[in-house]
Structure 1
Amino acid sequence: MKKRGRLFIVLLVAVVCGIFLFPTVKWYGFVPQETKDLATGSMVQIREYAQGKATMDLRELNSLIASDPSTALPNEYKFLLPIAKDNYKAMKRDVPRDWTVEAVFRGFYNEQDLFDTLENHYRSELVEIKTLSGNVLQLGLDLRGGMSILLEADTEAYEAKTGTRLGGADVTALLNEDIAILNERIDQFGVTEPDIRIQGSDQILIEIPGAADPERVNSFLRGKGSLTFQIVDQALTDQLNAYFTENPGEVYTDGGQIKQPEFLPAGKVATAYYINDDYGLDELSSYVVLNEEIGLDGIHIANAVVGTNPITGQPTVNFELDSTGGELFYKLTSTNTGELMAVVQDGKVKAMATITEPIRNSVQITGFGVEEAQDLSIVLKTAALPIELIVVSQQGVGASLGEDTVQAGLIAILIGLALVFVFMVVIYKGSGIIADIALLFNLVILLAVLSAFNLTLTLTSIAGLVLTVGMAVDANVIILERIKEELSYGKGAEASVKAGFAKAFWTIMDANVTTIIAALVLSQLGSGSVKGFANTLAVGIVSSMFNALFVVKLMYDASLSGKHPRLSIGWRRK
């Protein structure tokens, strides 16, 4: 390959590595630990933080305007200015030259608008960092500490319940649905960013980094949920909402439950209708009166998917009922045509739709946006896990152990690098420096690939890194020794370098390809720590080969391109 082509490839790889590494460098180097803790918490915690900060900021701004309205806006609130300017223009008012506290207040429609802007600022900031955390090189459970839970599919109970025999592919499909459901439950129970994946043929491994409450974890693992279809009493619903609007102190009991007003007759129950807020969490929308009698239980839902209405193009939620559920639903819909039906999950109304005709097995619900339809399809399937799970093991890993391990691993890498650097310079002088530069670039590529594919760095991965550091110089040593042989035959520097690389190529390929094959086999057949070691080793080998055959060759081409090329490859040879 020509020099320009080689240079282009190396520069392209360097740019791509920089893009892949940016989130990791930003996360570990520039995001404060306190912000990390907030961003990696649940959306409930983020909402509480954003609303709390907005409340404190609004109180502070009110205090400033009460003491002196002409006070200049403090620097920490400068993020309000662009929005205030846009509001001034929307209200067709002159934009102030000097931004005092009073001028900023006038740039918002009301105090609630200002509060919402403050809350949105903190929410967006943390959600952005939360998104960033999902694109960085992750630390494994053994480094960060936390909990590890191994679950096994209860195939016998499923087969006894359904009367069907499960094959391997069937179990995998059911476990994938279980994983989707468990992920859906995470924020509700405040469990932060667990890694949930299938292990083997019939097991699920859940690793929850950081501090986790075992009781809360068990609640989302074993919680079965409830899903029902009930008829809405529209007249009483209107009366209830009017009553609660006039009597806000009568909405909740002392225990925080919705009160059941005396005007509700027997067989009617007051509940609440919830929609997703900006955090993706339940937000109270209104109050609903339901028939206490359950029209259909969610256990009869066989499947639920998101579709599209062929005429209107609007998203729909389609679900299938089993034979018993079909009969029950037909009876419910045929006797309540024209009535409003509610989908109730864990006592909360999550969706409502008007019954237009009797329905038996196949049900279609419309009137939702795309995201709402997707959420509802999950709701219809998350009332219970498709296949029950048995806890095989549950253990905790101390975070302090993880910190010590990370520190020891970093020290090992630094010592290994230092020894290799010194060795190469002592033996090969200037060429050793070129090999050392390639070794550093090799580590950059390795970390970039691990970050790009969201691979997890574990203790064994660090062992793979250390091993890669030791192995990375092998190809360089082979090339340098070949060059020294060519020089000993009396060839010139440029000819020796060219011949040295040509003769070393197949030796390097044979040695590394066999190791890659072993690493790939370990990666496919191994699990847990073995897979982490194999992934790191495989990536490291490919990276070291690229550096030896592309980066080192490019540096030699640059050093020998002058009028008086000189090759420094040993203390006795120049």
Structure 2
Amino acid sequence: MSKFRRLLVVIAVLAVAFMFLFPSIQWYFLTPKEDQAIAVGSREQIREYSRRMTYLIITDLKQKATAKDTTDLSGQKMYSVAIESAKKAYSLAKKPAPKTWDAIAILSAFSGERSMFDSIESRYREHVLSLKNVHSNAVQLGLDLAGGMSAVIQADLKGLSEKLGHDLSSAEKEDAMKRAVEILNSRIDKFGLTEPVIRRQGEDQIYIEIPGAADPERLNSIIMGKGNLAFYLVDSEASTAVSSYLATNPVGIDEQTMVVDKPGLVPEGKIVRKVYKKDSYGLDEFTGEYLVLEGKPGLDGSHIQSATVSSDPITGKPETNFVLDKEGGDLFYKLTSENVGKTMAVVLDDRVKSYARIQEPIRESVRITGFSSDEAESLALLLRTAALPISLSVVSQQAIGASLGEDSIAQGRTAILVGILSIFVFMFAYYKWAGLNATIAQVLNLYLMLSVLTAFKLTLTLPSIAGFVLTTGMAVDANVIIFERIKEEIRAGKTRAAAIDAGFHKAFWAVMDSNITTIIAALFMAQLGTGPIQGFAISLAIGNITSLFTSLFVSRLIFDFETDVLHATHTSISWRVR
């Protein structure tokens, strides 16, 4: 490969690596600790924070305006979000922005308190959710570094097989485990826990990591809980009457028991439930609408086998399709046949998620329309994950304190720095200025290792750091092989450029063989090992792959730069060779 192409390859690789590594830099070095604490919280906590901060700012601005306080607030961080929202409001209204951003100027930008609240809250929401996205793309710290708790969940595939009355096929096992993982994801986020790590482990186990402080009993209740999904017939006439009454009498219903205080408004044997939709935070929000439902569900959600999203072939609008088992299909056909023209509601944990009119009798395959693309996807996920297809049990739990993790990070950082410094001292003492070449290659190697870790969303653990430290020490052996070959060529009387070219060419397969065998061993360790062994093996494999690039490409490029740009004629590579 020509020198120019080699330069382009190195630049391209470093640029791509920076692109993957930037979220980690942004999160760990550019994001304040207080913003990190907010962003790693659940969406419910983020919503509460955004609304609370908006309320506090608006209240403070009103007090300042009432007191006729004309202090310029543009330099104060607390009011930056309100000022940015006001600037946008002035721009949309095509009005000139004031020269001084005092409380009166900010409040005057909005047509009313509701628009001001929505505008400022959306700024807070966008900021925190964007940080949450940065965190998800950054290097994730394992429990041994961040603290928290982990659990191994056992799925009862045998019990599911007995329930279905036949041996499970590979596809049925895969679907059951996939749905179980989806359910745990939705439940753990719903219960307000911070960003979880949930992944399959083997054929019938699920591994969960929850950073930060987590209550083991609460986690058990999430895992063992049952989602209650059902289909109810709607009493449209009674629903209209209840909604009209509560619109003028908002306290006319007990929020705990959902009992309306006006006698006779709700027919005997029927129940009242609220209608919810997803808000801008992706959380359930009460729409203000109430539905009166039959006292007993027409169909239980446990009969759902699968749910997908497709498009109507004529209108192109999204629709949610789900398939019932045979028993459920018979029940649903009877239910829909007897109630054509009536409304049916999908209810999860006593919340009405959606409802639609029954157009015709339906058997196994059900199609629900009238949703946006996102709503259709949400409904399909809801139908898939509402009821656990398989029984789960906790096999093991482990809790780790955050202080231990901070100590591990500090010790790992120190080990890496001491390792690189030791390599530099040794290489410079033995190979003179060529040792600097090797040290630069090792620094870039560490940079590439972290970027690969981020790109594949792998978790940084204490064993991973051990793998990095070991790789840092091992990776320099490629430079040693290359340098020794170059020294042999110089002793043979070749010029600097010829000796470097021959040295790299002759050392190529020796370097490749030693690294490939290590990579193969690491891959086997990653496949056969679990936990710490797997983390160590993955970091070792990544380190060997990146060290091949830095030793064969980057190191060669540095030599070529000295030859072609600095016009070096001698190679400072040994005290005995000149």
Shorter-normalised TM-score: what interval?
over 0.9
Distance 1:463 1:329, change over 3 A: same
Tell whether the 8 Å contact from 1:71 to 1:100 is kept in structure 2 after alignment.
Answer: yes
What is the alpha-carbon distance in structure 2 between the residues aligned to residue 149 and residue 337 of structure 1?
47
Distance 1:351 1:282, change over 3 A: same
What is the alpha-carbon distance in structure 1 between the residues aligned to residue 32 and residue 91 of structure 2?
37
What is the alpha-carbon distance in structure 2 between the residues aligned to residue 329 and residue 494 of structure 1?
81
Give the structure 2 partner of residue 497 of structure 1. Answer: 500
Q: Secondary structure at the match of 1:160?
A: helix
CA-CA distance at 1:348 after TM superposition: 0.6
Q: Secondary structure at the match of 2:274?
A: strand
Give the structure 1 partner of residue 334 of structure 2. Answer: 331
Percent identity over paired residues: 48
CA-CA distance at 1:31 after TM superposition: 1.4
* Residue 386 of structure 2 is aligned to residue 383 of structure 1: yes
What is the alpha-carbon distance in structure 1 between the residues aligned to residue 551 and residue 95 of structure 2?
65
Single out whichever of 421-430 and 384-393 deviates more from structure 2.
384-393
What is the alpha-carbon distance in structure 2 between the residues aligned to residue 237 and residue 34 of structure 1?
46
Single out whichever of 419-428 and 521-530 deviates more from structure 2.
521-530
CA-CA distance at 1:359 after TM superposition: 1.6
What is the alpha-carbon distance in structure 2 between the residues aligned to residue 517 and residue 322 of structure 1?
46
Give the structure 1 partner of residue 36 of structure 2. Answer: 36
Give the structure 1 partner of residue 491 of structure 2. Answer: 488
Tell whether the 8 Å contact from 1:464 to 1:533 is kept in structure 2 after alignment.
Answer: yes
Q: Secondary structure at the match of 2:273?
A: strand
AA of the residue aligned to 1:568? S
Single out whichever of 528-537 and 242-251 deviates more from structure 2.
242-251
What is the alpha-carbon distance in structure 2 between the residues aligned to residue 69 and residue 338 of structure 1?
62
What is the alpha-carbon distance in structure 2 between the residues aligned to residue 86 and residue 551 of structure 1?
48
What is the alpha-carbon distance in structure 2 between the residues aligned to residue 68 and residue 489 of structure 1?
88
Q: How does 1:29-108 map to 2 (within 5 A)?
A: 29-68=29-68, 70-75=70-75, 76=77, 77-81=79-83, 83-88=85-90, 90-91=92-93, 93=95, 95-108=97-110
Give the structure 2 partner of residue 292 of structure 1. Answer: 295
What is the alpha-carbon distance in structure 2 between the residues aligned to residue 87 and residue 54 of structure 1?
16
Give the structure 2 partner of residue 137 of structure 1. Answer: 139
CA-CA distance at 1:527 after TM superposition: 2.3
Give the structure 2 partner of residue 547 of structure 1. Answer: 550
Q: Secondary structure at the match of 1:250?
A: coil
What is the alpha-carbon distance in structure 2 between the residues aligned to residue 140 and residue 345 of structure 1?
34
AA of the residue aligned to 1:249? V
Tell whether the 8 Å contact from 2:74 to 2:101 is kept in structure 1 after alignment.
Answer: no
Give the structure 1 partner of residue 572 of structure 2. Answer: 568
What is the alpha-carbon distance in structure 2 between the residues aligned to residue 439 and residue 322 of structure 1?
59
What is the alpha-carbon distance in structure 1 between the residues aligned to residue 257 and residue 71 of structure 2?
45
* Residue 240 of structure 2 is aligned to residue 241 of structure 1: no
Distance 1:408 1:88, change over 3 A: closer
AA of the residue aligned to 1:130? K
Alpha-carbon RMSD:
1.8
Tell whether the 8 Å contact from 2:42 to 2:189 is kept in structure 1 after alignment.
Answer: yes
Q: Secondary structure at the match of 2:560?
A: helix
Give the structure 2 partner of residue 157 of structure 1. Answer: 159
CA-CA distance at 1:83 after TM superposition: 4.3
Q: String of CA shifts for 1:424-460, please: whole Å, max 9, x gaps.
A: 0111111011111111111111111111111111111
What is the alpha-carbon distance in structure 1 between the residues aligned to residue 514 and residue 92 of structure 2?
69
CA-CA distance at 1:265 after TM superposition: 2.5
Give the structure 1 partner of residue 18 of structure 2. Answer: 18
Q: Secondary structure at the match of 2:172?
A: helix
Distance 1:372 1:563, change over 3 A: closer
Give the structure 1 partner of residue 470 of structure 2. Answer: 467
Q: Secondary structure at the match of 1:37?
A: helix
Unaligned runs of 5+ in 2: none
Unaligned runs of 5+ in 1: none
Give the structure 2 partner of residue 531 of structure 1. Answer: 534
Give the structure 2 partner of residue 393 of structure 1. Answer: 396
Distance 1:318 1:168, change over 3 A: closer
What is the alpha-carbon distance in structure 2 between the residues aligned to residue 9 and residue 252 of structure 1?
68
Tell whether the 8 Å contact from 1:260 to 1:269 is kept in structure 2 after alignment.
Answer: no
Of 188, 204, 211, which aligns to 1:209? Answer: 211
* Residue 313 of structure 2 is aligned to residue 310 of structure 1: yes
AA of the residue aligned to 1:161? K
Give the structure 2 partner of residue 220 of structure 1. Answer: 222
Give the structure 2 partner of residue 448 of structure 1. Answer: 451
What is the alpha-carbon distance in structure 1 between the residues aligned to residue 171 and residue 515 of structure 2?
35
What is the alpha-carbon distance in structure 2 between the residues aligned to residue 309 and residue 563 of structure 1?
69
What is the alpha-carbon distance in structure 2 between the residues aligned to residue 323 and residue 250 of structure 1?
43
Q: Secondary structure at the match of 1:271?
A: strand
AA of the residue aligned to 1:453? F
* Residue 561 of structure 2 is aligned to residue 558 of structure 1: yes
Give the structure 2 partner of residue 358 of structure 1. Answer: 361
Give the structure 2 partner of residue 422 of structure 1. Answer: 425
